[in-house]
């Protein structure tokens, strides 16, 4: 296009790739696809090819692409009030906070724009809470400040979130990291107990590790973490940025484990595609934040919160958590059955519609073969393919994904 603008249905894919390669910072390993349109479980590229999207923008478009209820909420809010500072109140933010409080049982919410930011807020809240409990500025002796997090975890790319992340590859070249963070192996109760010194103020865990390769916490482990936090006066903080909002077959993954965290972080699916993160906390914990202690210009933006309310309406009204549980079972059974026919298919792990399958060869090459067949999935770790279908997918779409994976494996 001569004027350089991008019009619907006329995207020049080669130009988009060239401009991206020349001018966007080189922080992503991008695939050659230029996506121009999405609807439900499907996306289209600039050449008009259609793909079944089981990546969903990495667990973001949980209610599918361009859901009419979400697009209507965004358009309606954009026409009335697009942004307002947190110097003032706004209705979508207030309503969304109340809704999240009701759904989670955690009474207070801080809004931000991403998962990393939600975890930054959790880290600051934990330290500020411990500092306040220790008698604020008059504290004698060390204030508990250590946060325990899991090896192989992923919590985001900002300094605090990256320091909480238990994977050295994300930290290389960025030392010194935020101090006072100790990593422990997942699902090892004895190791968690051993690391629980009097300096610990909080434990942060993903109920199901996502980027690490789809590894769920065992029930015994998460319950032990809850018990240890209670006994030692520390906070149990759960990063549900990926697992939250129906993805695992319940509104929040913690509901599978018979525990309630003190702090919960959300993002990804919350904004239905718009940037929206949230840090939720019990009332007494949230009291550690007072005016001036934390902030975000865009946090709780009215358009994002209107989208968030539309997403939660859909989740509740259409019982999308129940649907995720049922579809997840279908997907897992299909993968297990594929594994009986094809020796390349190994262990299947997950919860609800967050499913990983170990593949007996390089997972990124298998993901590329799936893409050729018209299925988008992504590789995590070296040998794991991850499926994050929309919660609105149909049985037929799940079956189609299984069939495309089988074709891709046979084809390679
Ligand atoms: C569990 C978890 N926490 C945090 C993040 C970071 O979220 P964001 O990329 O929105 O900062 C991610 C992203 O993949 C995640 O999976």
The separation between the first and the last C-alpha atoms of the chain, rounded to the nearest angstrom, is 38
Residue labelled with tokens 């859909």: 314
- Atom nearest to 116 CA in ligand 1: 11
- What CA–CA distance (Å, rounded) separates 378 from 363? 8
Cβ contacts of 7 within 8 Å, gap of 6 or more:
1
Residue 5 has pLDDT above 50, yes or no: no
- Which residue has the least CA distance to atom 8 on ligand 1? 115
Q: Which of 239, 254, 262, 358 is catalytic?
A: 239
Residue whose C-alpha is closest to residue 406's, from 349, 324, 337: 337
CA-based nearest residue to 218, from 180, 251, 189: 189
239 is catalytic: yes
Residue 411: predicted pLDDT: 75
CATH of 13-60+319-411 given 1.10.150.650, 3.90.1150.10, 3.30.565.10, 3.30.56.10: 3.90.1150.10
**Dihedral pair phi/psi, residue 411, rounded to 5°:** -70, -30
Cβ–ligand 1 contact at 156 (below 6 Å): yes
Looking at the DSSP bridge assignments, the partners of residue 202 are 147, 235
- What the block records as the tokens of 372 is 């050729």
pTM across the whole model: 0.96
Please report the atom of ligand 1 found closest to the CA of residue 265: 3
Distance 150 CA to ligand 1 centre (A): 15
Predicted confidence (pLDDT) per residue in 151-206, tens digit: 999 999 999 999 999 999 999 999 999 999 999 999 999 999 999 999 999 999 99
Give the residue extent of every domain in the chain. 13-60+319-411, 69-317
Nearest residue to 33 via CA among 20, 24, 41: 20
Beta strands 200-205 and 235-239, pairing class? parallel
Out of 27, 153, 241, 274, give the residue to mutate to test ligand 1, the one with the largest number of ligand atoms within 8 Å of its CB: 241
Residue 156 Cα: closest atom of ligand 1: 6
Tokens of 17: 């790739």
pLDDT for the residue numbered 175: 98
Q: What are the pLDDT digits (tens) for 75-105? A: 999 999 999 999 999 999 999 999 999 999 9
Alpha-carbon distance of 274 to 302, in angstroms, equals 11
Q: Per residue in 267-317, pLDDT tens? A: 999 999 999 999 999 999 999 999 999 999 999 999 999 999 999 999 999
| pLDDT band at residue 379 using 50, 70 and 90 as cut-offs | very high
pLDDT bucket at 381, cuts 50 / 70 / 90: confident
* Distance of alpha carbon 140 from alpha carbon 183, whole angstroms: 27
- Which tens digits make up the pLDDT trace of 107-149? 999 999 999 999 999 999 999 999 999 986 565 667 999 999 9
Q: Between 3.40.50.150, 3.10.129.10, 3.40.640.10, 3.40.190.10, what CATH number should domain 69-317 receive?
A: 3.40.640.10
Report H helices in 201-301.
219-232, 283-286
**Is the CB of 244 inside a 6 Å radius of any atom of ligand 1?**
no
Catalytic residue among 268, 289, 358, 387: 268
Model confidence at 6: pLDDT above 50: no
| Whole-number pLDDT of residue 412 | 67
CB 386 within 8 A of CB 380: yes
User: For residue 1, what are its two tokens?
Assistant: 């296009």
């Amino acid at each position: 296009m001569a004027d350089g603008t991008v019009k619907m249905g006329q995207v020049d894919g080669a130009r988009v790739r060239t401009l991206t390669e020349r001018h966007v910072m080189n922080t992503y390993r991008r695939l050659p696809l230029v996506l121009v349109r999405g609807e439900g479980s499907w996306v289209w590229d600039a050449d008009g090819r259609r793909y079944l999207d089981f990546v969903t923008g990495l667990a973001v478009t949980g209610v599918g692409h361009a859901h009419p209820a979400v697009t209507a909420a965004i358009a309606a809010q954009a026409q009335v009030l697009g942004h307002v500072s947190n110097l003032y109140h706004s209705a979508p933010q207030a309503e969304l906070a109340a809704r999240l409080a009701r759904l989670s049982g955690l009474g207070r919410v801080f809004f931000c724009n991403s998962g990393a930011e939600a975890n930054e807020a959790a880290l600051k809240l934990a330290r500020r809470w411990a500092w306040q409990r220790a008698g604020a500025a008059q504290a004698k002796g060390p204030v508990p400040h250590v946060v325990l997090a899991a090896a192989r975890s992923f919590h985001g790319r900002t300094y605090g979130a990256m320091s909480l992340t238990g994977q050295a590859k994300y930290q290389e070249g960025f030392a010194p990291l935020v101090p006072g963070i100790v990593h422990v192996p997942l699902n090892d109760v004895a190791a968690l107990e051993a690391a629980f010194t009097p300096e610990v103020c909080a434990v942060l865990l993903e109920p199901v590790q996502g980027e690490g390769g789809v590894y769920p916490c065992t029930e015994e482990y998460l319950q032990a973490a809850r018990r240890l936090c209670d006994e030692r006066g520390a906070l149990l903080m759960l990063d549900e940025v990926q697992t939250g909002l129906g993805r695992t077959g319940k509104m929040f993954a913690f509901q599978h484990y018979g525990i309630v965290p003190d702090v919960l972080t959300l993002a990804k699916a919350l904004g239905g595609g718009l940037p929206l993160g949230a840090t939720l906390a019990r009332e007494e914990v949230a009291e550690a934040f007072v005016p001036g202690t934390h902030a975000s210009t865009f946090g709780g933006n009215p358009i994002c919160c209107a989208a968030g309310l539309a997403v939660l309406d859909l989740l509740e009204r259409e019982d999308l958590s129940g649907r995720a549980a049922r579809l997840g079972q279908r997907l897992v059974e299909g993968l297990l059955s594929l594994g009986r026919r094809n020796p390349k298919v190994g262990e299947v792990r997950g919860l609800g519609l967050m499913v990983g399958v170990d593949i007996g060869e390089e997972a990124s090459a298998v993901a590329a073969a799936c893409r050729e067949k018209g299925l988008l999935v992504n590789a995590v770790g070296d040998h794991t393919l991850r499926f994050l279908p929309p919660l609105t997918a149909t049985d037929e779409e799940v079956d189609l994904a299984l069939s495309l994976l089988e074709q891709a494996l046979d084809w390679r």
